[in-house]
Amino acid sequence: SREPGFRAKIAVSSIESDVDPVGACVGLKGSRVQNVVQELQGERIDIVPWSPDPAKYVYNALAPAEVSMVIVDEENKLLLVVVPDDQLSLAIGRQGQNVRLASKLMSWRIDVKSEQRYANLEDAGYRSLVAVEGVDENLADRFFAAGIVSAAVLAGMEPEDIAEAGRTGEEQAREIKELAANVPPVEMNEPEEVSAVPADVLPEDDVPKDEPAIETPAEAPLEDAGSEDTSEGAENEPEES
């Protein structure tokens, strides 16, 4: 996957167990990849170890961000990736570039969430807030932090208090109050055919090795970085060495 002039991600694999595909692609002292980088006028290239396991593959594709857990939905080709709070901006990338390229590379939708937001989503009350029309996760976070723990609580509040807690206008607050009254209680149901894979069960061989020739610096922090959900497919197949 590639965004010309900015960044590219390529997946590599080897049919020989004793051949490191990333090292073979980088070349001695980075000679092979640097030639390509120079030809592309400094475009960043991330070389990603390919894996048939989508959980391991996305772990590699989002490097250098740390991953806490991956939830795999095979039926919908959706990956929910949970990362430490301080790794969210790095995983998403500047203007969503890192997760967008990873999604294209894998041909899977990738939704990245911080550990705190994922914990909130496990709460039925928080989910009822998100179920209110016009309340996205960022606004739900503000309500939750202010002690508004469900749509039912929201519906019983005065519009001016809702506006203050959510930092919204009073007209929007009145609409939210009315809509919240129509939200039924939300129960947590475990989705079918979904598996969760903690990062610590991934073998070391699947973790990208340090690659000085193509070192990926940390992305600039994003303000109020939420989840990034991309669904673009990739045409690239992993290269074999």
* pLDDT tens digits, 174-214: 999 999 999 987 665 444 445 566 666 554 544 444 443 34
Annotated domain spans of the chain: 2-117+192-233, 123-180
Helix, strand or coil for residue 3? Answer: strand
Within a 10 A sphere around the Cβ of 139, how many other Cβ atoms?
19
Computed over every residue of the chain, the mean pLDDT equals 81
pLDDT of 59 higher than 80: yes
According to CATH, the superfamily of the domain at 2-117+192-233 is K homology (KH) domain (3.30.300.20)
Report how far residue 62's alpha carbon sits from residue 47's, in angstroms, rounded to the nearest whole number.
11
pLDDT tens for 93-144 read: 999 999 999 999 999 999 999 999 898 888 889 999 999 999 999 999 999 9
